[in-house]
Amino acid sequence: MEKQNYIIGVVIIIIFLVGLVLFSKENSTDAGNDVVYNGELSASEMNWDFGTVSMAAGKVSHTFQIKNSSSEKAVIKKIETSCMCTSATLLINDKRLGPFGMPGHGFSPTLKEVLDSNAEAGVEVLFDPTAHGPAGVGPIERTISIETGSGKKLTLDIKVMVTP
C-alpha cells in the first residue's frame, strides 16, 4: 500500500511539472517563433508640464502618443512610474490596460502588447496632487518608463507645481 501511495505521489508531481512547463511556454514571449519584436518606441513629445495645479482641484491627466518607429514589430513589456502619485494606462488597439504605477507598490504585471511597425498607441498619465498630503507642495517631477521586449526603454517626463 505504501508503494502505491508513493507511485501515485510521483505521478502527481510529474503531471504537475509537465503542466507547469506547458503553461510557461504558452505564456512566454514568442521566443522560438519567426516573429522578431525588436521595434523601437518613440514619442511625439517626451515632456509634459501640467503647470500649477492646486490640491483642491484634484487629479490631472495627459495622454502621450507613442509610436513604433521601426520596421519591426515591438512588444510593450512593462510600464512603470517613478512615484505612487503617478499612474499610467496603455491605450492600444481599443483596449485600456492598467493603470500601472511604481514598482514594488502593488501588482505590476508584465505586458505582451504588440505594436506593429509605424503603429501608434497612447499612454495616459494621471497625476494626483494630494498623494503626498499637505507637505507635498512645490515643484514635482516624475517619469514614466515604457520597456519593450528587447529591453529598450522610452522615458516620458512630467512636471507640475503643486499648490494647496
pLDDT tens digits, one per residue of 41-61: 999 999 999 999 999 999 999
In a domain, 50, yes or no: yes
Look up cell 501515485; give the residue: 8
Overall residue count recorded for the chain in this entry: 164
In a domain, 57, yes or no: yes
pLDDT tens digits, one per residue of 106-140: 666 789 999 999 999 999 999 999 999 988 999 99
Q: Do 75 and 5 lie in a common domain?
A: no
Q: Do 74 and 116 lie in a common domain?
A: yes
Q: Do 57 and 4 lie in a common domain?
A: no
CB neighbour list of residue 29: distance below 8 Å, 6 or more residues apart: 37, 75, 77, 112, 149
If one counts the domains in the chain, the total is 2
Q: Do 95 and 128 lie in a common domain?
A: yes
CB neighbour list of residue 87: distance below 8 Å, 6 or more residues apart: 81, 98, 99, 100, 101, 125, 126
Q: Do 62 and 19 lie in a common domain?
A: no
Please give the residue range of the domain that contains residue 5: 1-29
Q: Is the pTM of this model over 0.85?
A: no
Q: What is the CATH number of the domain that holds 85?
A: 2.60.40.10
Q: Do 107 and 128 lie in a common domain?
A: yes
Q: Do 51 and 110 lie in a common domain?
A: yes
